[in-house]
Amino acid sequence: MERLRAAGCVFADEEARLIAEAAGADAGTREALLRRRLAGEPLEVVVGWAEFAGLRIPVAPGVFVPRRRTELLARLAIARTPRAGTVVDLCCGSGAIAAAVAHARPDVTVIAADIDPRAVALASGTLAAYGATAVVSDMDGALGALHGRVDLVASCPPYVPSARIALMPREAREHEPRIALDGGLDGADLQRESLAAAARLLGTGGVAVVETSEDLASLTLQMAEAAGLVAVVERDADLGATAVVASR
């Protein structure tokens, strides 16, 4: 714990406890995990899981660590999906949103998709336990069979403007893939693609929920409307979360 505190870890006590739990009884494993953390790897990657919507979601090196703010999307998806409906988690990363929805709504069919095969391999293993699946897909490229048949699309695409990546915390810059962070010049490129994909996937009355930032919210709203959807902004101050909810 002293080494974590000296390295500047704000929650050194808690981190030491979680590292000890992940290592089990083996002192060599504990030392190896501690060294990885001291070298700057995200705690979640070191211990192998992230807490999300009350679940322990497996995480792995090279895959985006799910953030607590994204629980807003899971909550909206759980509340807005009709009975026995179909949900697509676009840009699923570890599959955290899909897992939370499938866990809370066993009546619903959940399909997750991501362009990164490493993320899909991780998500597939996690989602199997919840009766959900994951596929490699550039947005909805591999989901043509679902066009017009989906009740809810949840999406947390990358939305950091390219020039701001250099200002992100070191943990993200050095340990998360650029493809999971970089939203292009204004940050909105992948949101635009997600909303266009959602407009193709959703059936009549379907809903898309897309994570955004306060800076981008009005642009995300405009893009949803340009994709033919009727959109509002939802916020959760406790989570520091902003989302656009767009209906067909």
Binding site for ligand SAM (CB under 6 A): 64, 66, 70, 91-94, 96-97, 114-116, 119, 138-139, 156-158, 179-180, 190
Q: Which is nearer to ligand SAM, 86 or 191 (CB)?
A: 191
C-alpha angle 64/162/115, rounded to 5°? 40
Q: Which is nearer to ligand SAM, 4 or 146 (CB)?
A: 146
Phi and psi torsions of 171, nearest 5°: -55, -45
Smallest distance from the beta carbon of 196 to ligand SAM, in angstroms?
11
Smallest distance from the beta carbon of 198 to ligand SAM, in angstroms?
12
Smallest distance from the beta carbon of 77 to ligand SAM, in angstroms?
12
Question: Closest CB to ligand SAM belongs to which residue?
Answer: 93
- What's the CA gap between 37 and 6, in Å, rounded? 12
Smallest distance from the beta carbon of 245 to ligand SAM, in angstroms?
16
Q: Which is nearer to ligand SAM, 16 or 65 (CB)?
A: 65
DSSP 163-192: GGGGGS-HHHHHHS-GGGTB--TTS-HHHH
E-strand spans in the chain?
49-52, 55-58, 86-90, 109-114, 133-136, 150-155, 202-212, 230-236, 241-247
Q: Which is nearer to ligand SAM, 1 or 165 (CB)?
A: 165
Q: Which is nearer to ligand SAM, 70 or 109 (CB)?
A: 70
Report whether 17 contacts 9 (CB < 8 A): no
Report whether 102 contacts 132 (CB < 8 A): yes
Smallest distance from the beta carbon of 50 to ligand SAM, in angstroms?
8
